[in-house]
């Protein structure tokens, strides 16, 4: 009996030759066809994969015996002789998504159909660029996987989203943990024992948004991602735009201010120094230091860290200082969005990332600044929406991406 993992990842490495190898490859093709197209009849498989009906029948029966394919009964829609539909059994394989944020780490388990089976969010964690932190991440991933109530053989791979510049194809990270000689994805894969894909958090969340239907029928869209950092996802003519090396969309590092504030990237005055979660935290600390009062004053006075999440929660509880800071950031973000609108003339502007939790406190000043600073002829084309997936998008997106990588779809 062969497992799904065997067909998807091991068949090519098998030492079988001739007919045996050919049959294994054909079964693998049947599985992949079903991943993309769902349940289908034997004659449809035979047509699409160019195999004879007897061959398809034999191979599908073997896959059924392996527990990989199930008979889903009669095809209700077709007239006359109704053939049976065959599809992939549920719970044959799973994927793990890990979203590493500046102040938390989040985990999800998804199945073959991208359905979220388990989610563990907001585990407190501090992202720093040190070997100890990388060790901690590896430990936390191992702990999450260990505690999942399923056969580890069924986990096909782990997708990890990180801030900073990442080349997902090569597996190298250029900011966090950039000292591993091998690609970071390969290094992590060896440490945790699964195939690993790494992706930048903006692109992971952008991909989830793109797949979730928000963009259906939309050809030109901008995904404005504001969490601890700031970046944009760009869809042009219905396709995500990556640039030559996958670094397109680094809006946060546009030199926008003469504020002498050092950005994470090493330069000064980047847009991100005023419009980002890190900027929001800094602004809050500065105000509290000056003696302004807030629901967060006590936390500050006790020397505790104040996070973007704390500020968003305080705003939701009508904290005036938090609301003011979010509104000011909304206005500045609106100017940046106006620039994007003038350049790209998008149909849709999606506000995503952690800031989407701020709702109108952020959106209204942002929209007002867009109206003020972009060309009205251009901005009247652009509809504003808030991400449906909110701050789960990175996690879902990166699990979808490892699935896509493994199934080669
Ligand atoms: Zn920068």
What is the structure's pLDDT at 378? 78
In a domain, 210, yes or no: no
What pLDDT is attached to residue 381? 84
Residues 228 and 197 placed together within one structural domain of the fold: no
Among 88, 106, 131, the domain boundary falls at 88
In the chain, pLDDT over 90 holds for what percent of residues?
65
Dist. CA 250 → ligand 1 center (Å): 9
Contact call for residues 259 and 273 (beta carbons, < 8 A) = yes
Query: What confidence score (pLDDT) does residue 153 get?
Result: 86
Please give the pLDDT value at position 76: 65
Residue 401 banded pLDDT, cuts 50, 70, 90: very high
pLDDT (0 to 100) of residue 182: 94
Query: Is residue 114 a part of any domain in this protein?
Result: yes
Does 244 share its domain with 104? no
Per-residue confidence (pLDDT) for residue 264, from 0 to 100: 86
Indicate the residue among 55, 73, 88 that finishes a domain: 88
Please give the residue that has the higher pLDDT: either 134 or 210: 134
In angstroms, the CA 329 to CA 225 distance is 14
Identify whether 224 is part of a domain.
Answer: yes
Burial of 5 (0-12, 13-18, 19+ CB in 10 A): middle
Q: Are residue 201 and residue 346 in the same domain, yes or no? A: no
Query: Contact at 8 Å (CB) between 74 and 82?
Result: yes
Q: How far is the CA of 258 from the centre of ligand 1 (A)?
A: 13
**pLDDT, tens digit (0-9, with 9 covering 90-100), for 354-369:** 999 999 999 999 999 9
- C-beta atoms surrounding 114 within 10 Å: 15
Residue 231 Cα to ligand 1 middle (Å): 11
- Mean pLDDT, range 319-332, rounded to an integer: 98
Asked if the model's pLDDT at residue 81 lies above 80, the reply is no
Question: How far does residue 254's CA lie from ligand 1's centre (Å)?
Answer: 7
Ligand 1 centre to CA of 249 (Å) is 13
Percent of the chain with pLDDT over 70: 98
Structure tokens at 377: 């002829």
pLDDT at 75: 67
For residue 161, which phi and psi values (nearest 5 degrees)?
-100, 140
Tell me how crowded residue 195 is: count the other CB atoms within 10 A of its CB.
Answer: 19
State the Cα–Cα distance between residues 44 and 30, nearest whole angstrom: 11
SS3 292: coil
Highest averaged pLDDT of the listed ranges 63-72, 113-122, 126-135? 126-135
pLDDT score of 323 more than 60 = yes
User: Could you tell me if 240 and 290 lie in one domain?
Assistant: yes
- Give the pLDDT confidence score for residue 48 in this predicted structure: 93
Q: Which residue has the tokens 């609106």?
A: 334
Which CATH number belongs to the domain containing residue 191 in this structure? Answer: 3.30.420.40
Considering the domain architecture, whether residues 242 and 326 belong to the same structural domain is answered as yes
Mean pLDDT of 138-153: 94
Cα of 264 vs centre of ligand 1, distance in Å, is 6
Please give the distance, rounded to the nearest whole angstrom, from the Cα atom of residue 67 to the centre of ligand 1. Answer: 51
* Ligand 1 geometric centre to CA of 339 (Å): 18
Q: 75: domain range?
A: 4-88
Cα of 125 from ligand 1 centre, angstroms: 23
Instruction: Name the band, by pLDDT with cuts 50, 70 and 90, for residue 316.
Output: very high
Centre of ligand 1 to C-alpha 199, Å, is: 19
Predicted confidence at residue 224, as pLDDT, reads 95
Q: Which residues pair with 195 in a beta bridge?
A: 157
CATH code, 81? 1.10.10.10
Mean pLDDT value across the chain: 91
Are 117 and 230 part of one and the same domain? Answer: no
User: Which pLDDT score is estimated for 394?
Assistant: 92
For residue 65, name the pLDDT band (cuts at 50, 70, 90).
Answer: very high
Domain final position from 88, 119, 136: 88
- The CA distance from 113 to 409, in Å, is 13
Question: Structurally, how many domains does the chain consist of?
Answer: 3
Its pTM stands at 0.83
How many Å lie between the centroid of ligand 1 and the Cα of residue 174?
14
Could you tell me the distance, in angstroms and rounded to a whole number, from the CA of residue 21 to the centre of ligand 1? 52
pLDDT band at 74 (very low <50, low <70, confident <90, very high): confident
Is residue 274's pLDDT more than 90? yes
Confidence check: pLDDT of 202 > 70: yes
d(CA 383, CA 71): 45
259 alpha carbon – ligand 1 mean position (Å) = 12
State the helix-helix crossing angle for 53-65 and 42-49, rounded to 10 degrees.
120
User: 380 and 282 in one domain?
Assistant: yes
**Pairing state of beta strands 155-162 and 94-100?**
parallel
132 pLDDT above the threshold of 80: yes
């Amino acid at each position: 009996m062969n497992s799904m993992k065997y067909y998807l990842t091991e068949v090519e490495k098998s030492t079988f030759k001739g007919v045996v190898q050919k049959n294994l490859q054909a079964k693998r093709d049947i599985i992949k066809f079903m991943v993309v197209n769902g349940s289908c009849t034997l004659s449809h498989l035979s047509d699409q994969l160019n195999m004879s009906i007897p061959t398809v029948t034999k191979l599908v029966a073997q896959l059924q015996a392996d527990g990989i394919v199930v008979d889903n009964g009669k095809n209700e829609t077709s007239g006359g002789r109704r053939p049976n539909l065959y599809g992939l059994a549920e719970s044959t394989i799973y994927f793990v998504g890990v979203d590493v944020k500046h102040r938390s780490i989040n985990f999800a388990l998804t199945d073959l159909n991208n359905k979220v089976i388990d989610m563990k969010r907001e585990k407190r964690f501090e992202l720093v660029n040190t070997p100890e932190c990388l060790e901690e991440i590896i430990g936390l991933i191992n702990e999450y996987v260990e505690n999942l109530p399923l056969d580890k053989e069924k986990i096909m791979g782990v997708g990890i989203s990180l801030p900073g510049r990442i080349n997902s194809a090569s597996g190298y990270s250029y900011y966090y943990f950039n000292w591993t000689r091998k690609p970071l994805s390969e290094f992590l894969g060896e440490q945790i024992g699964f195939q690993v894909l790494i992706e930048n958090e903006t692109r992971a969340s952008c991909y989830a948004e793109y797949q979730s239907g928000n963009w259906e029928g939309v050809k030109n869209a901008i995904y404005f991602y504001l969490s601890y950092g700031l970046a944009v996802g760009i869809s042009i003519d219905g396709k995500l735009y990556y640039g030559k090396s996958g670094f397109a969309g680094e809006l946060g590092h546009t030199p926008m201010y003469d504020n002498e504030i050092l950005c994470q990237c090493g330069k000064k005055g980047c847009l991100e120094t005023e419009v980002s979660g890190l900027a929001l935290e800094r602004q809050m600390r500065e105000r509290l230091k000056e003696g302004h009062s807030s629901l967060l004053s006590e936390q500050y006075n006790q020397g505790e860290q104040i996070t973007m999440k704390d500020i968003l929660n305080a705003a939701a509880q009508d904290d005036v200082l938090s609301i003011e800071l979010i509104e000011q950031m909304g206005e500045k973000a609106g100017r940046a969005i106006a620039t994007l609108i003038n350049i790209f003339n998008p149909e849709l502007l999606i506000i995503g990332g952690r800031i989407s939790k701020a709702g109108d406190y952020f959106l209204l000043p942002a929209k007002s600044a867009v109206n003020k600073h972009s060309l009205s002829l251009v901005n009247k084309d652009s509809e504003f929406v808030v991400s449906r997936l909110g701050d789960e998008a990175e996690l879902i997106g990166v699990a979808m991406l490892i699935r896509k990588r493994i199934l080669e779809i």
